[in-house]
Amino acid sequence: MDTAQASEANMTSLFGLVDCNNFYASCERVFNPALNGKAVVVLSNNDGCVIARSNEAKALGIQMGEPFFKIRNLVEHNYVHAFSSNYVLYGDMSDRVMQTLSQFTPHVEVYSIDECFLDLGDFYDIDLFSYAWNIKKTVGQWTGIPVSLGVAPTKALAKVANKLAKKSKKANGVLVLTEPYHIQKALEATKIEDVWGVGSQYATFLKKHNIHTALDFSIASENWVRKHMTVVGVRLLKELRGESCLELEEITPPKKGICTSRSFGTKLTKLDDVLEATASYAARCAKKLRSQKSCARLITVFVQTNRYSENDRQYYNSKTICMPVATNSDIELIHYATLALKAIYKPNYFYKKSGVIVTEIIPENHIQYDLLDTVDRDKHSRLMKVMDGLTDRFGRSKVMVAAQGVNKDWILRSDYKSPCYTTRIAELPVVSNLI
């Protein structure tokens, strides 16, 4: 946005930020009301660490990212209810929340699975507080998910408002910041490390320079900020001063890199096992590419051992292959992922994780074909369509390329998973030798 546009936007810009409270934990509660008032945590893949906590779990002192084994005692004594992550459920609940929000303004930006920016620029003249409160109430009634809502003239200020809305008992989940005096008070009450865009590195640096709150930062010199925090810092500075620099991004641009990686449920040493896992990740990348109608030219595979086991020999390596023609076919990506993995695999290591990254992504209708190409791309594309159709209907892992394996020794551990309450998964026998 240029300066003229920006200053024009400033006349009326107004953003809402809706954030689902403790989202994954709240999703688990919607379908299991007995959990209300109880400490609930949701675990990362492999039930490794805590990635979501209800307020009661926070009150027990459980930290974000805490390894699960450290709180196993609490779980066993029933003080805490733990769930493996159930992304199908959370994705579906997220869709419902976003659908509900779009009833209130046509211009929404789905910022993450549990956050959404709203353009409220047309609503300056109405009673913003009632409107905001109505949004919160409606989402609660229609989806069962509690949300907090901050409203302010810029995205960064809406973030500030949202955080305070959640924290303050008085605000009770809704805070509208339009008056300069209120904005100033809010900035004063916001610690610098809680500002959107200030991570741990910058927070430490800024505190060293006596900047402890968002207000301190907002009165720093622009040149000083540019010098130490690049143009990104300057944008933040302006946003906190009320000058809108970040627009609402309603259309999600296609991703420039797509990565699928997982830690294995157990340590793997055999090439075949690592191959099966890696092939599955390649297929996931292919599916993600197809869903955004893209193809990729580069594929990178990496493997690593468990960096926490001090007694094991450590190994990390990666290999990138430039494919002759950009593709989004399971079969081709698995083929090249296999080649890449074989190039870096070394026997006698305990592998804990592998991953597939695809880059140099282009729209699928912009592919440059190779004269010497021997792949029947039409056939692949038709096959992938059929497979996607089956996957969408019957769920993942029902149809796959044989290289992905059926033994799945590497599969994720997920001992505490709730049912997929909202999406029916029909039963269908595994078809493994389709190709």
Which stretches of the chain bind DNA, using CB under 7 A?
44-46, 48-49, 51, 65, 67-69, 72, 111-115, 159, 195-203, 230-232, 253, 255-263, 267, 284, 288, 306, 308-309, 352-353, 355
Residue-wise burial string across 284-323, b where 16 or more C-beta atoms lie within 10 A, e elsewhere = bbbbbbbeeebbbbbbbbbbbbbeeeeeeeeeeeebebeb
Q: Which is nearer to DNA, 100 or 354 (CB)?
A: 354
Is the CB of 75 or the CB of 375 nearer to DNA? Answer: 75
CB of 53 to DNA, least distance (A): 13
Dihedral sign for Cα 207, 213, 214, 219, please: negative
CB of 85 to DNA, least distance (A): 8
What phi, psi does 72 have (nearest 5°)?
-60, -35
Q: Closest CB to DNA among 18 and 183?
A: 18
Between 120 and 192, name the residue whose CB sits nearer to DNA.
192
Taking the complex as a whole, the smallest distance from the CB of residue 387 to DNA amounts, in Å, to: 19
Please, are residues 328 and 294 in contact by the beta-carbon 8 Å criterion? Answer: yes
Q: How far is the CB of 290 from DNA (least distance, A)?
A: 13
Nearer to DNA among residue 128 and residue 361 (C-beta)? 361
DSSP state of 362: E
Q: How far is the CB of 196 from DNA (least distance, A)?
A: 5
DSSP string, 294-316: EEEEEEEEEEEE-TT-TTSPP-E
- Here the tokens at position 345 are 């695999």
- Only one residue has tokens 């309450």, namely 421
Closest CA to 410 of 265, 244, 283, 304: 265
Q: Which is nearer to DNA, 12 or 314 (CB)?
A: 314
Read off the amino acid at residue 75: V
Report d(CA 216, CA 193) in Å as an integer: 12
* Minimum distance of DNA from residue 89's CB (angstroms): 15
